[in-house]
Each structure stands twice: as C-alpha cells, then as structure tokens.
C-alpha cells in the first residue's frame, strides 16, 4: 500500500498473529496512510483487559492525530494514555490494564517533511538502511534499565526471568512520559514497528536478512511473522513495515554534499532555514532535539580586570545552568525509579494463581514464589487435598498455576476436583453388625428358673 505526503512517498505492509501459545490476540496496529500514521500496540491485563487497552490506544491515535508535528504525535499518544486510563478506572473488570505503543508519523518541520518516531513501553522501532539494522527506540523495561546501567549484558537480558516487567506503559497512570524524535526520510530506508513477540523469537540478523531480501513490505511482514511462529510463537506477533519509496531528491542532495558539491547557496530571503530547535547529528539523517539556550563549550580566558569580572559572571551562569540540569536530571531519575517501583508493585500484586496451602489446594493473589519484596496473598483454601490431584495438574499446582482472574482460578480448582473425583471417587464403608440378644436368667432356686445351657 502506498501513501504520499507532500514530497515523500511511502509504501507499507503489516501483519499480526496470535502466535502458537496464546488464545487471544492482545496486539493491535493502526495504519492511516491518508494522514501518514502507523502504530503498533501490545496490550496487557487480566482476562480481556490487554485487548481492550491496545484497541482503545490505536483507535484514539487514529482519531486525534491531526497536528502533524512531533509535539502533535506526542499529544496524540498522551490522549491515548488518558483514554485507556479512564476506561480502566471506570470498569473493575478492566482495572490495571495497559498497553505499549510505538508510532511512526509524517510530520512537518520548517517547510520540510520528516518522519517522527515515538514510543512508550517495549514495542520497538527499527530502521534498515544501507544494509544495517538499527534499533531507534529505547525499551522502557526493567532489564533494559539494567543493561543501560551495565548490570546485565544484552544476552543475559534476553533470557532474564523478569524481562517482561515494563517501567512505562499507557493507561496505568494519568500521565506518562513519551519518547519522541524525528528522522529524515531517505530513499531505500525501511522502518519496522513491532511488538516483542517478534524480536524475542527472531534474532536481529535474521530480521535484517528478511528486510534486505523481501522487497514487498506486506510479504516481508508476513515472512517475519512466520519466522516468529517457527521460533516458538510464545506471544502475539505484530509487524508493520514502512518503506521510503521517494524522498523528493533528499538522498541525492545528501550524496552530492558528501562528494563536496554544494547543493544550496545561502537561502534567499523568506526561504527555508535550519531550525535552532533541531540539529542533524550525522547519524544517517537522524534529527535530535537541541537546547535553544546552548552556549559554546570552550573556556574564555581574560586579559584584564574587566575581562576577569566578565569571565567570572559567565562561569557563574554556567554553574547555575549546570546545577539546574543536575536537579532536573535527579528529578527525572526519581520519576523513572518511582515509576519502575510502582509498575513492579502493580505487576507483583496483580493476577491470581492456584497453589498449595500446606497439603490443600488454594488460590493466591500475586505471582508464584513472589516478586522481589512482594509476597503472594492467600485468597481462599479449597477442600481438595494435593494427594488426590492427578499427576499432570499436580505438577502445575505445585509450581503455581497462573490464572487471569479469581473466577478463572475457581473454575480451574473446580475442574481439577471433578477430575480427582472421577479417578478416585470417595468411598463409604458399610459394616454389618449381627443383632445382639440378651437373655435374663432368674436366680437359682426361684420358681420357673431355667438352668443356663452350656454351649456344646
């Protein structure tokens, strides 16, 4: 499918699949080539909450994205967060639901067209360019934070038991920080949006091979979904690929500039000029935010007393700016850590599982074995003894059989009880007791006394 926005022409394809383990697909994607918007959302939440959360997020994005700037894309994602949060707060069945999101949009900036990327959570945005595959977005997850700190290697993170714990999602809190930046569209580049069901099952080198080998974006999306299913398909899989078919000559201009050929003279009056809010960092067209109040980094040396005084004022101003930056960094860090702790608390205390209270089958709220400092809470104890449970469910129960809701946990216990009764029905013992006859003998010597007979 092809979309044209100004001088940039894009082509896209997408695919989603429930995988080989899950019974419902909590992934959603939106493709609005008429407005230049593509997004992938991966929902989470007991029972049907995740499916509802991702659907609300995608529907809201498609409906409200009408201001085609980076801030407009961020604002649309913030509105999606509000919509998911309010839906969860208004329905006990959906309480605590959330969703990730990664979005790509055509945006205007200084009379030019750029591609904006924004994300919350661990759904990713990649760019395949010149044979290289680069992850452009940053995962908001516990293990990703540990990798950035140097506490975990990427290989250790890929198999870490808590790799699914997210530090940032849509819908859990009223406000959520959104990462966003813009890139220049270049002819031949491919952008990949995907849920974790893809990259957890397919190594990045194989993803790059498909993007290089399969030209049609729909066929490439289908091929990646197939590889993810072959790799295990343990989660829902969603893939959206957007190709830059025509960049309006931007790539040719860049090549000419690299060859030393001037591509533009001094801009004419009223013509487009570089924005002080953004600057090219030289990484294949990526555009990054730059502070408007940035000052040269080199030190200034004084030659007389007046210059010394001026230099002292400048150093003082630099120190004040540094102090406020440090304070801002600390506040952001505290917010991130607080969000991570709150998310862990929510995750560790949500959900139910069937386990053991002594020898009795019981229902607990929380995660089997607990999570960090969060211990599971006993909800109710059944009258089913573990010794009567068949072997297959007994192993699951001993390890903690997770269930999406309390009702599902009760149904599971009831089903196991029925199977136990079928295999080992309770028996009732019947004892037959012969009737006892009592004979009263008259004292010897009285009239009518009968001598007691002696058994032969």
CATH number at residue 73: 3.60.40.10
- Tens-place pLDDT, residues 157-189: 888 888 889 999 999 999 999 999 999 999 999
**What is the C-alpha radius of gyration for the chain, rounded to an integer number of angstroms?**
34
Cα distance between residue 99 and residue 41, in whole Å: 6
Cα distance between residue 371 and residue 350, in whole Å: 11
H helix or E strand, kind and range, residue 101: strand 101-109
Alpha-carbon dihedral 368, 369, 375, 377, rounded to 10 degrees: 40
Q: How far is CA 299 from CA 290, 295, 296, 319, 432, in A?
A: 20, 11, 8, 13, 107
Cα distance between residue 385 and residue 94, in whole Å: 33
Question: Are both 136 and 218 inside the same structural domain?
Answer: yes
Within-domain flag for 63: yes
The structure tokens 């295999």 sit at: 423
Determine the pLDDT at residue 262: 39
Question: Are both 380 and 236 inside the same structural domain?
Answer: no
- Tens-place pLDDT, residues 388-425: 998 889 889 998 999 988 989 999 999 998 888 888 77
Sort 44 into a burial class: Cβ within 10 Å, 0-12 / 13-18 / 19+: buried
| For the chain, percent of residues with pLDDT exceeding 70 | 75
CB atoms within 10 A of CB 390: 13
Asked if the model's pLDDT at residue 435 lies above 60, the reply is no
**Residues 114, 8: contact at Cβ < 8 Å?**
no
Within-domain flag for 94: yes
Cα distance between residue 343 and residue 209, in whole Å: 36
Question: Are both 389 and 251 inside the same structural domain?
Answer: no
Determine the pLDDT at residue 84: 97
Asked if the model's pLDDT at residue 38 lies above 50, the reply is yes
- Tens-place pLDDT, residues 342-397: 888 777 777 899 999 999 999 999 889 888 878 898 999 998 999 899 888 988 99
As for how many domains the chain has, the answer is: 2
Asked if the model's pLDDT at residue 139 lies above 90, the reply is yes
Within-domain flag for 59: yes
Determine the pLDDT at residue 344: 83
Asked if the model's pLDDT at residue 118 lies above 50, the reply is yes
Within-domain flag for 183: yes
Asked if the model's pLDDT at residue 128 lies above 60, the reply is yes
Question: Are both 64 and 199 inside the same structural domain?
Answer: yes
Which alpha helices (DSSP H) does 65-216 contain, by range?
A: 70-89, 142-149, 154-158, 196-199, 204-213
Within-domain flag for 446: no
Within-domain flag for 8: yes
Q: How far is CA 104 from CA 35, 46, 186, 212, 214, in A?
A: 11, 28, 15, 20, 21
Q: pLDDT band at residue 263, thresholds of 50, 70 and 90?
A: very low
Question: Are both 282 and 395 inside the same structural domain?
Answer: no
The model's pTM: 0.58
H helix or E strand, kind and range, residue 238: strand 237-246
What is the Cα 97 distance to its own chain's centre? 11
- 3-class DSSP assignment, residue 125: strand
Question: Are both 22 and 168 inside the same structural domain?
Answer: yes
- Tens-place pLDDT, residues 185-212: 999 999 999 999 999 999 999 999 999 9
Question: Are both 375 and 257 inside the same structural domain?
Answer: no
Question: Are both 283 and 368 inside the same structural domain?
Answer: no
Asked if the model's pLDDT at residue 427 lies above 60, the reply is no
Within-domain flag for 418: yes
Asked if the model's pLDDT at residue 155 lies above 60, the reply is yes
Domain that holds residue 160: 2-262+276-289
Question: Are both 284 and 358 inside the same structural domain?
Answer: no
CB atoms within 10 A of CB 248: 15
Determine the pLDDT at residue 314: 39
Determine the pLDDT at residue 391: 86
Mean pLDDT for all residues in the chain = 80
Within-domain flag for 322: no
Asked if the model's pLDDT at residue 27 lies above 70, the reply is yes
Question: Are both 282 and 379 inside the same structural domain?
Answer: no
- Tens-place pLDDT, residues 272-318: 323 222 233 333 343 433 222 333 333 323 333 333 333 334 334 43
């Amino acid at each position: 499918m092809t979309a044209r926005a100004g001088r940039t022409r894009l082509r896209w394809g997408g695919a989603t699949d429930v995988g080989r383990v899950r019974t419902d697909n909590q992934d959603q994607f939106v493709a609005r080539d008429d407005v230049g918007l593509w997004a992938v959302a991966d929902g989470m939440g007991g029972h049907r909450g995740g499916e509802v959360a991702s659907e609300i997020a995608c529907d809201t994005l498609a409906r409200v994205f009408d201001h085609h700037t980076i801030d407009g894309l961020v604002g649309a994602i913030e509105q999606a967060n509000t919509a998911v949060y309010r839906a969860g707060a208004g329905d006990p069945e959906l309480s605590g639901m959330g969703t990730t999101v990664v979005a790509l949009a055509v945006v205007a900036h200084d009379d030019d067209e750029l591609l904006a990327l924004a994300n919350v959570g661990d759904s990713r945005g990649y760019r395949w360019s010149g044979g290289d595959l680069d992850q452009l977005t940053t995962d908001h997850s516990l293990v990703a934070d540990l990798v950035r700190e140097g506490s975990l290697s990427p290989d250790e993170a890929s198999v870490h038991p808590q790799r699914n714990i997210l530090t940032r999602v849509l819908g859990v809190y009223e406000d959520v920080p959104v990462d966003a930046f813009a890139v220049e569209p270049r002819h031949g580049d491919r952008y990949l949006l995907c849920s974790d069901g893809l990259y957890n099952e397919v190594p990045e080198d194989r993803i790059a091979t498909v993007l290089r080998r399969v030209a049609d974006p729909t066929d490439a999306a289908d091929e990646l979904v197939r590889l993810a299913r072959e790799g295990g398909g343990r989660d829902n899989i969603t893939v959206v690929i957007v190709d830059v078919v025509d960049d309006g000559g931007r790539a040719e201009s860049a090549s000419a500039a690299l060859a030393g050929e001037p591509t533009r003279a001094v801009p004419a009056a009223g013509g487009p000029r570089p924005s002080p809010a953004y600057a090219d960092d030289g990484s294949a067209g990526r555009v990054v935010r730059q502070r408007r109040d940035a000052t040269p980094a080199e030190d200034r040396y004084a030659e007389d007393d007046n210059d010394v005084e001026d230099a002292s004022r400048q150093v003082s101003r630099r120190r004040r700016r540094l102090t406020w930056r440090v304070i801002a960094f600390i506040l952001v860090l505290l917010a991130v850590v607080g969000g991570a702790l709150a998310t862990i608390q929510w995750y560790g205390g949500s959900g139910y599982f069937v386990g053991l209270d002594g020898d009795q089958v019981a229902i607990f709220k929380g995660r089997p074995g607990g999570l960090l400092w969060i211990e599971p809470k006993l909800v109710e104890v059944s009258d089913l003894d573990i010794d009567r449970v068949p072997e297959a469910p007994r192993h699951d129960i001993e390890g903690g059989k997770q269930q999406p809701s309390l009702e599902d946990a009760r149904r599971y216990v009831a089903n196991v009880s029925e199977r136990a009764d079928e295999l080992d029905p309770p028996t009732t013992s019947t004892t037959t007791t012969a009737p006892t006859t009592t004979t009263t003998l008259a004292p010897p010597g009285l009239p009518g006394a009968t001598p007691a007979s002696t058994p032969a």
